[in-house]
């Protein structure tokens, strides 16, 4: 059963279906694209369709598409018959270099992003580079924002290599895309090999995501995942500087690298109350006991080092300080050049 959203280009779908038909009976199940369809209603509908077509314990689920398709298909695979083999075939750079490398499968509720889900391991992740080569620049940029996160938070020793490769046009050769993906796999495996369920130091992968997810949901498609995370990282870098955890130079590197990929997300300041509302329901909430008036965040204590506080990798920050960082980046006249 190949599960894909209807926005995946037809030639990619046709090529994938034809390849799997050589191995056995193959069906294509589709759903409408977008975060608004990443929910249990979509998952249930796909499960019913799969069962109607004869899905059983010998069925494999193939996720074809970006991060939304990967998560939705991952939920279907983990729930049908209490677990069917899952194969990921990502068609976006951000899926190939980030989302499908995680064991996390999840869908959204109105209250927040990825609130419902579980950990479920795919049998294989297959990146077909030719599927990525015709992606629009904005899709490439989205993936490279996560690459920037990996440089800042996990492998800063490779900074100089990628400074030379990144460019705002986001036009890259196939071998360059391959290099980006291999780097992101290396970064992700560096922290996940000893923490596959991302409960301890691997939570650094969520750097910038607490605010970023809120912006992504509020934008309702206006901002990509990577662009939203870029904004979240800038806010976190500012908070870290105010707390004495990052130097001015280290904060400047956030701006420099994001400028090199052309990220330029400035949500309106009117969103701040709603950003805070979503942050209250962040899916990392509960790693530490709740403290009124404070928000738990993933912060860096120097490049490549997650900050620890009271034995936890989540740092509590006064709500007022978090709010001020968001306001600074929505109202400041100094922003990344698009």
User: Which sequence positions are flagged as catalytic?
Assistant: 104, 206
Residue showing tokens 């598409």: 65
Identify the helix (H) or strand (E) that includes residue 192. helix 174-192
Reading the block at residue 241, the tokens are 């500087």
Tokens 């983990």 belong to: 78
Distance between alpha carbon 177 and the CA centroid of its chain, in Å? 17
C-alpha span between 288 and 263 (Å, rounded): 32
Tokens 């509960």 — which residue?
286
Residues in contact with 191: Cβ distance below 8 Å, sequence separation at least 6, in sequence order: 154, 201, 202, 204, 205
Those residues with Cβ within 8 angstroms of residue 270's Cβ, 6 or more apart along the chain or in another chain:
none
What is the C-alpha separation between 212 and 221, in angstroms, rounded? 13
Angle at 184 between CA 180 and CA 187, to 5 degrees: 140
Q: Which long-range contacts (CB under 8 A, 24 or more apart) does 49-54 make?
A: 50/1, 50/76, 50/80, 51/80, 53/1, 53/27, 53/29
Sign of CA dihedral 105, 230, 90, 200: negative
Take residue 335 and report the two structure tokens written for it. Answer: 């922003």
């Amino acid at each position: 059963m190949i599960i894909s959203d209807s926005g995946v280009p037809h030639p990619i779908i046709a090529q994938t279906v034809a390849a799997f038909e050589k191995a056995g009976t193959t069906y294509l199940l589709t759903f409408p694209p977008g975060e608004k369809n990443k929910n249990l209603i979509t998952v249930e509908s796909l499960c019913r369709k799969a069962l109607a077509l004869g899905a059983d314990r010998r069925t494999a689920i193939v996720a074809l598409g970006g991060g939304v398709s990967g998560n939705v298909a991952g939920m279907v695979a983990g729930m049908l018959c209490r677990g069917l083999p899952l194969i990921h075939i990502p068609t976006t750079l951000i899926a190939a270099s980030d989302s499908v490398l995680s064991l996390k499968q999840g869908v959204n509720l109105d209250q927040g992003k990825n609130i419902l889900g579980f950990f479920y391991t795919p049998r294989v992740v297959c990146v077909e580079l030719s599927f990525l080569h015709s992606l629009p620049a904005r899709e490439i940029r989205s993936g490279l924002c996560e690459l920037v996160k990996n440089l800042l938070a996990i492998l800063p020793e490779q900074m100089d290599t990628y400074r030379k490769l990144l460019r705002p046009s986001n036009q890259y050769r196939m071998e360059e895309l391959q290099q980006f993906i291999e780097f992101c796999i290396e970064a992700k495996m560096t922290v996940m090999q000893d923490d596959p369920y991302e409960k301890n130091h691997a939570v650094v992968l969520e750097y910038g995501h607490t605010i970023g997810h809120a912006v992504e949901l509020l934008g309702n498609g206006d901002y990509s995942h990577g662009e939203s995370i870029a904004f979240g990282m800038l806010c976190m870098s500012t908070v870290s500087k105010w707390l004495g955890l990052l130097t001015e130079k280290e904060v400047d590197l956030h701006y420099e690298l994001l400028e090199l990929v052309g990220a330029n997300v400035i949500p309106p300041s009117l969103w701040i109350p709603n950003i805070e509302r979503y942050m209250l329901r962040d899916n990392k909430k509960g790693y530490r006991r709740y403290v009124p008036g404070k928000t738990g965040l993933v912060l860096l204590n120097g490049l490549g080092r997650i900050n620890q506080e009271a034995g936890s990798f989540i740092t509590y920050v006064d709500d007022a300080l978090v709010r001020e960082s968001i306001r600074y980046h929505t109202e400041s006249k100094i922003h990344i050049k698009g």
